[in-house]
Structure 1
Amino acid sequence: MGQNSSQGARMTSSVRVIVVGAGCRGEIYSQFASIHPERVQVVGVADPRKFARTKLQQKHKILDENIFEDWHNIVEREKFADAVLICTPDRLHKEPAVAFAKKGYHILLEKPMATTAEDCTAIVEACTQSGVILSVGHVLRYDPVTHKITELIDAGVVGDVMHIQHLEPVGFYHFAHSFVRGSWRNEAESSFALLAKSCHDIDLIHHWAGPRRCVKVSSFGSVSHFGKENKPTGAGNRCLDCSIEGDCPYSASKIYLNRVKQGHTGWPVSVICPSSLPDIESVTEALRTGPYGRCVYECDNDVCSNQGELSCDGHEVHVFDFLTQRSTKHKAHNDAPRNFGMSGHGGADYHLMAAFISAVANNDPSHIRSGPEETLLSHLLVFEAERSRLESRVVYCGDAGRR
């Protein structure tokens, strides 16, 4: 396996990056510059929201001339950075990715690559033709525990991989926040559930399967719970005005207000106040008037609510040997700073940025674990899986599956 991604290698100069989309992911990824200013500098930001771009400007001391409402204005200028971090909404990935690739910028693209197979292919083609590095934000590939599993599989510790059973437990409040009330609740406005959330998991299965390629895929799911027909008797349309809110696990008061009262203003609380820092007053107002205060049974959500779950302790890997009947414990080395990001994915956000910056600084794509071709293949599987769900049938991938 390659060297530890956080170590870098013979850094010759600081990598200059531009953040396009200064929301949650853009803010987290750019935090790498605060920890390692000798390795990376944030020199520009584009975001239509004044609060978001100003917050990032102040944090990284970005010049006024490099602050933009529209990323198109960056492309029109002479190239003034080495790389761009594209963290726009899912449906707004393809156009900037292609444009910045043609301009010669190396790209860290938040997952999913895009919301159609055609757009994903166009992004890969643009990056390949322009000779720029493309790293897609499949952070789980960079998670130390996940990487340890990969090392053990590659070392033959478990023998040939014959079957992978992988579950993704989104979590009840996370699902309500993101996929019922939030930005990924409606497919027409964002993307379908498999692409928005589970492209991580399909990518890992694809990765662990090694050189073997998928020949058949099926997916079955529906909006099974969060609908008007399941609304409890006596429930109101908004949690702040609901008489049975205290007995509801999806209560917006519990999910957001209680966290603020306990001093927690990171994700998911930070998401619901896009124009100000979250406090009791701003969060209360957001719940009273905004989408995150709605009853989960009265939203315009149409994404699947029974598509998948994942289980792992996130710290150690246990390998059970059938021959000796013994279990061996393996610990993953994780040297990521504890204070990186609002969530950090257990250090994976840090390692993703470390690998990307090393790749750009040394012009060495080998640091990237989620490069263009591999990511395109796993994304194409996601689109086929969604086609299977929509058409209620098993989809065969390529001629090999039709034998």
Structure 2
Amino acid sequence: MRQITAVLVGAGARGRFVYGAYASKYPEELKIVAVAEPNEERRKLAAKDHGLAPNQLFDSWEQVLHSTQIADVAVISTQDRMHCIPTMKALELGYDVLLEKPMSPLIDEVLAMADASREHNRLLTVCHVLRYTPFWSKIKEIIVSGAIGQIVNVQLSENVGYFHMAHSFVRGNWNKSEETSPMILQKSCHDLDILSWLIDDRCTKVSSYGSLLHFRSENAPHGSTLRCVEGCAVERDCPYSAVRIYKENDLKNEWTRFITNEITPEGINEALEKGPFGRCVYQCDNNVVDHQVVNLEFERGAIASFTMSGFSHDISRTIQIMGTLGEIRGYMEKDEIVLYQFGKEAMNIPVAVGEGGHGGGDEGLMREFLKQVRNSSNNGAQGLTSAEASVQSHMMAFAAEQSRLEGGSSIAVAGWSARCMNSVGS
């Protein structure tokens, strides 16, 4: 197995804890040879993680992607609005590229990157990790087998989790759509991609409703303060208390590493006293929705509904797929799939347990991407989550956000779809 070398552009949460961690766990498969990251502390951590010398560390993507290709692949894990230009430059230099989702919050950039991957005959794999999980792969396998006949209706729910909502989309990096992406694109492009993949048809119409209902200043409880550690009168009873989430309950083991690089009582206290994650959830500068529904119609007549809510006790996804000959019901986090073929006994379908984040999807994505890179006889073949494959789900998200902003109007995506398919040569 040939070791693949990589340039890591962006060493934040995904860059360090997913792609960088894969290289540390499987050094025979992947080696990080350079890191571009504007945050000095993160650069130092990356140097320690991967044994990098100072001349392998860069302040910006412009420096590492300046003129000469120095690795096999480029992993682009910057913020949403910083994806396009480094991706285009990396493709031009000859890199195969692994790009964090979403591709971009701008339609023209999505199309330009898809075009560039074809023009330069390079892989551009988008990190729609759910397709690589044992759970969703098994559901796709059942559908393709014909066991439920033609798909008629799909209902998919994404339960974001109250603590994840507060962390990422109220206090955190993705709380303002104009600086990152709308919620339906940033968080739920995974789900629209799964719907597009499972139904395997062109989406023709989209409508959507949603709003920022709860995390608003007018909903702040009496006696609350700007920060949870500033003597808030209701902090002990508030489920969104930063003290409880990052210091006290079981959630701290997962989420505290994202608020500070110094996992000590002193480091955590400083983050809560001075950083964005110590703010009261009712006194932040957030504007992305905390709940949304999307209705979709497909060319051959199937319809789908998607619900995203930030108000759930856990992070989970559930799905119901109704076909002309049967039905599938699934609960991703429990790896539970039940097949109901009409007139037959229900069948519990076994699912292999995936290792790593996103139900095994993170590691599954990395393994498949590296396998493709090693396969020098690809002859331009693109992967399961290529830029070409991702165009439709991005258009679905753009249409959904337009509909939501217009009060739920039905948006015909045929014009967008035709433009996209012509652009990427599908």
The TM-score normalised by the length of structure 1 is 0.89
Mapped contact 2:80–2:181 kept (Cα < 8 A):
yes
The whole-number CA distance in structure 2 between the counterparts of 1:366 and 1:316 is 33
Conservation of the 8 A alpha-carbon contact between 1:46 and 1:68: yes
Q: Does 1:227 align with 2:198?
A: no
**1:243 maps onto 2:233 in alignment:** yes
Query: Compared with structure 1, are the counterparts of its residues 86 and 118 closer, same or farther at alpha carbon in structure 2 (3 Å cutoff)?
Result: same
Structure 2 counterpart of 1:268, one-letter code: W
Q: Name 2:338's counterpart in structure 1.
A: 318
How far residue 77 of structure 1 moved from its aligned partner, in angstroms, is: 3.8
2:362 corresponds in structure 1 to 349
- Name the residue aligned to 1:183: 173
1:106-145, aligned counterparts within 5 Å? 106-145=96-135
SS in structure 1 at match of 2:389: helix
Q: For the residues of structure 1 that align with 2:78 and 2:253, how far apart are their CA atoms?
A: 19
Aligned to 1:385: 400
Q: Does residue 150 of structure 1 match 2:140?
A: yes
Over residues 218-243 of structure 1, what are the superposed CA-to-partner deviations in whole Å (9 max), with x where a residue is unaligned? 11111111112211122222111201
For 1:81-100, list aligned pairs within 5 A.
81-100=71-90
CA contact 1:265–1:278 (8 Å) conserved in 2: no
Aligned-residue CA RMSD (Å)? 1.8
Aligned to 1:268: 255
Name the CA distance, whole Å, in 2 between partners of 1:366 and 1:97. Answer: 19
Give the structure with the larger strand fraction: 2
Q: Which runs of 4+ in 1 moved over 3 A?
A: 264-267, 363-367
Matched, 1:297 2:313: no
Match among 250, 255, 273 for residue 288 of structure 1 = 273
Q: Which runs of 5+ in 2 are unaligned?
A: 293-307, 310-316, 319-330, 418-426
Note closer, same or farther for the CA distance 1:333–1:366 as it changes in structure 2 (3 Å cut). Answer: farther
Whether 2:383 is the aligned partner of 1:396: answer: no
Tell me the SS of whatever aligns to 2:69.
coil
Say whether the 8 Å CA contact 2:225–2:232 is kept in structure 1.
yes
- Residue 25 of structure 1 pairs with residue 40 of structure 2: no
Q: Is the 8 A contact 1:45 1:67 kept in 2?
A: yes
- Are 2:36 and 1:46 aligned? yes
Note the alpha carbon deviations across 1:247-302, whole angstroms, 9 max, x for none.
1111111111115xx6x7654211211xx322211111111112111111111111
Determine if contact 1:145/1:331 at 8 Å carries over to the other structure.
no
Q: Which runs of 5+ in 1 are unaligned?
A: 1-10
Which whole-Å CA distance do the structure 2 matches of 1:34 and 1:239 have between them?
36
Secondary structure of 1:219's match? strand
Shift, 1:322, TM fit: 2.1
- Which of 136, 160, 184 aligns to 2:150? It is 160
- Measured after TM superposition, the shift of residue 138 of structure 1 is 0.5
Letter in 2 for 1:346: G
1:102 and 2:92 matched: yes
Task: Check the 8 A contact 2:129/2:365 in 1, yes or no.
Answer: yes
1:90: how far off? 0.8
Scaled by the length of structure 2, the TM-score of the pair is 0.85
Give how far 1:366 is off.
5.7
TM-superposed CA distance for 1:64, in Å, is: 2.6
**What is the percentage of aligned positions where both structures have the same residue?**
37
Shift of the 235–104 alpha-carbon distance from structure 1 to 2, 3 Å rule, reads same
Q: Deviations over 1:178-229 (max 9, x none)?
A: 111111111122111101101110111111111x211110111111111122
Matched residue SS, 2:339: strand
CA drift of 1:397 comes to 1.3
Change in 2 beyond 3 A, CA 1:44/1:266: farther
Aligned residue for 1:388, secondary structure, equals: helix
Aligned residues: 377
State whether residues 223 and 305 of structure 1, in contact with CA within 8 Å, keep that contact through their aligned partners in structure 2: yes
